Amino acid sequence: MSFEEIIFKKPDYPFKLCTTTFIYPADWVTNARAMGRSFDELELLLFESGRPDSLPAPEAVRELADLADELDFTWNVHLPIDIHPGHPDRKVRQQAVDVIKRTMDLTAPLAPTTHTLHLPGIMGRPDETTVQQWQDRLHTTLENIIGSGIPGSSLTIENIPDYPLEMALPLIDAFGLEVCLDIGHLLVSGASISAAFEMFNDRITLVHIHGVAHGRDHRSLDRLSQKRRDALFNELKMFTGVVSLEVFSKKHLLASLECLQKEWG
């Protein structure tokens, strides 16, 4: 099956435009070849770690690195989400550390601009003791990762609907981590776009944007209400990091690009 190259003329954004390697139902290399020419950066999605084929083989990584040179784009890496760096069980936390290190070693030839990490293990707005215990466990995990020579600035912590990301701010500041602000996750959890940009401010280096409809996110950008789009674009006018259209199909990508171009124009 052939997958046509997606060509998109970028307006004059202050940010670098990115999308994912899940646009076509094909491997990472096929997606990179179809998307790389039109985007400043691609997000290498590595959501699973448990199966032998969950991560790309070293030869595929080399091909992905070559494509970035050939088509003139950079990479960022989304670390697996089936790990639990804040889990109460020490062995589960160590497994998360091992997966993170292995994934970062594997993808090093891509020279990623960042590696995006979720911090599950807490839900809602728990009491102070529960939050402190979660933070303590994550502190130990992050010490283990960074103590191995991985700089904190190479990790972006992403907000997920489970909890407000401000709970992780002490860890972000302590280890010099950065923030990946996911707009769809914000909206699903009922948070404010403008308040999140104000809170995390210059810690934000990566923004995931996608639409939300009927409580489901990662839809095309045109599924956002005009009010939410206005709030988002008002913030992006001043943002100079990377903005990733985090959608998972050609249909959602093309609709998002059309919306982006229309709104920006």
Beta bridge partners of 242: 16, 206
Whether residue 3 lies inside any domain: the answer is no
7 domain residue, yes or no: no
CA distance 30 to 198: 38
Instruction: Give the domain extent around 250.
Output: 16-264
What pLDDT is stored for residue 163 in this prediction? 86
Residue 9 located in a structural domain? no
In terms of Cα–Cα distance, which of 118, 202, 205, 101 is closest to 157? 118
DSSP 162-200: TS-GGGGHHHHHHHT-EEEEEHHHHHHTT--HHHHHHHH
The number of folded domains in the chain is 1
pTM: 0.96
**Is 110 part of a structural domain of the chain?**
yes
pLDDT at site 202: 93
* Residue pair 41/75 in contact by the 8 Å Cβ criterion: yes
Q: Is residue 243 part of a domain?
A: yes
Instruction: Supply the pLDDT for residue 53.
Output: 85
| Beta strand segments in the chain, E | 16-20, 41-45, 74-78, 115-117, 155-158, 178-182, 204-209, 211-213, 216-219, 242-245
Q: How far apart are CA 99 and CA 105, in angstroms?
A: 10
- For the chain, how many helices (H) and strands (E)? 9, 10
Per-residue pLDDT at 122: 87
User: Which CATH number covers residue 210?
Assistant: 3.20.20.150
**Beta strands 216-219; 211-213: pairing state:** antiparallel
Classify residue 11: in a domain, yes or no. no
Residue 8 lies in a domain: no
pLDDT in tens, the chain (265 residues): 568 999 998 889 999 999 999 999 999 999 999 999 999 999 999 989 988 788 999 999 999 999 999 999 999 999 999 999 999 999 999 999 999 999 999 999 999 999 999 999 888 788 999 999 999 999 999 999 999 899 999 999 999 998 889 999 999 999 999 999 999 999 999 999 999 999 999 999 999 999 998 888 999 999 999 999 999 999 999 999 999 999 999 999 999 999 999 988 7
Task: For 124, list phi and psi in degrees, rounded to 5.
Answer: 65, -140
Determine the pLDDT at residue 1: 57
Give the model's pLDDT for residue 215.
80
Asked if the structure places residue 166 within a domain, the reply is: yes
pLDDT score for 121? 86
